Amino acid sequence: MNASVLDITRLRKSFGGLTVIDDVSFSVTRGSRTALIGPNGAGKTTVFNLLTGVYPIDDGRIVLDGQDITTVPANDRVTYGMSRSFQNIRLMPHLSTVENVMLGQHARARSLPSLLFPLGLTPRNKWAREAADALADAGLGTYPGQVVANLPYGVQKRIEVVRAMVSRPKILLLDEPAAGLNQVETAQLQALLERVSASGTTLLVVEHDMHFVRNLCDHVVVLNFGRKIFEGTPAQVNDDPAVREAYLGSDSSMGAAHAS
């Protein structure tokens, strides 16, 4: 039971008549680095949105660390130990780096005294210090007071990870963390994620970059057209006929398989 930190059972979601997630079940082992991959439109980001409660699910169950969160409102789920980054950077553009990270602390500071504590008037308070330390730990100590809109893309990506981490999640959902990064930035991001993983946080990563997945992840779940078609190690994934067909099309139906 406790070997997995996240259990998804028979997840189903339709938008109108279109079933985008169809009977998807998988478990994420505690401490693992699981990748969720698949061709464009396979439903990977939708799975994230269902997990974090952006949309309600039609059927199925989501259990996070033994607690059923299927019907928990989106703004409470983070308190159960789940946090995420976004496919397109979604930092608050008008907030400074430290303030963005302090937003990540919100899940741990929802009591009235915490809400009314003047963070901005006491620059050395424990929340600001913690946020600055978390940034420094991630190698981002250079930009504490800057408004994030002006920072480089790769730096913003890593700030997103730090923001998600200060909520102290059991599982961190990363939606295409390496997308749009150059090699150096990808390496910096991977180093950060390795440290996050080493600290005991489980990673669930949606990613297109198979090289990045093979380097980082130890388990892979493949979706295609909203269904799970494969689960196994990164080494196995390339040899699986169903996965090859999903990405490349089958020999017999080259014309029909516009999966991407």
Q: Cα(148)–Cα(146) distance, rounded to whole angstroms?
A: 6
Q: Cα(85)–Cα(206) distance, rounded to whole angstroms?
A: 10
- Which residue of 22, 25, 72, 86 would you call a contact of another protein, by CB under 8 A? 86
The nearer residue to another protein, 54 or 242, going by C-beta atoms, is 54
- Which residue of 13, 33, 158, 170 would you call a contact of another protein, by CB under 8 A? 158
- Residue pair 177/161 in contact (Cβ under 8 Å)? The answer is yes
Q: Cα(182)–Cα(214) distance, rounded to whole angstroms?
A: 17
- Residue pair 70/61 in contact (Cβ under 8 Å)? The answer is yes
Binding of another protein by 247 (CB under 8 A): no
Nearest Cα neighbor of 204 from 190, 221, 188 is 221
- Which residue of 56, 58, 71, 90 would you call a contact of another protein, by CB under 8 A? 90
Scanning the structure block, which residue is given the tokens 């090289």? Answer: 211
> H-helix or E-strand containing 135?
helix 126-137
String of contacts with another protein for each residue 32-61, x by CB under 8 A: --------------------xxx-------
Range 126-155, binding another protein (CB under 8 A): 127, 136-147, 150
> Left (φ > 0), alpha (ψ -120 to 50) or beta: where does 9 sit?
beta
Binding of another protein by 254 (CB under 8 A): no
Binding of another protein by 16 (CB under 8 A): no
- Which residue of 13, 33, 44, 77 would you call a contact of another protein, by CB under 8 A? 77
Count the neighbouring beta carbons within 10 Å of the beta carbon of residue 105. Answer: 20
Binding of another protein by 92 (CB under 8 A): yes
- Residue 183: phi, psi to the nearest 5? -60, -45
Binding of another protein by 186 (CB under 8 A): no
Lookup: tokens for 250: 């089958």
Smallest distance, Å, CB 162 to another protein? 11
String of contacts with another protein for each residue 194-233, x by CB under 8 A: ----------------------------------------
Cα 185 to Cα 77, 144, 145, 182, 210: the distances in Å are: 30, 19, 22, 5, 16
Stretch that binds another protein, among 9-17, 94-102, 203-211, 246-254 (CB under 8 A): 94-102
**In the complex, which residues of this chain contact another protein (CB under 8 A)?**
52-54, 74-79, 83-84, 86, 90, 92-96, 99, 102-104, 106-107, 109-110, 114-121, 127, 136-147, 150, 158, 163, 167, 188, 191-192
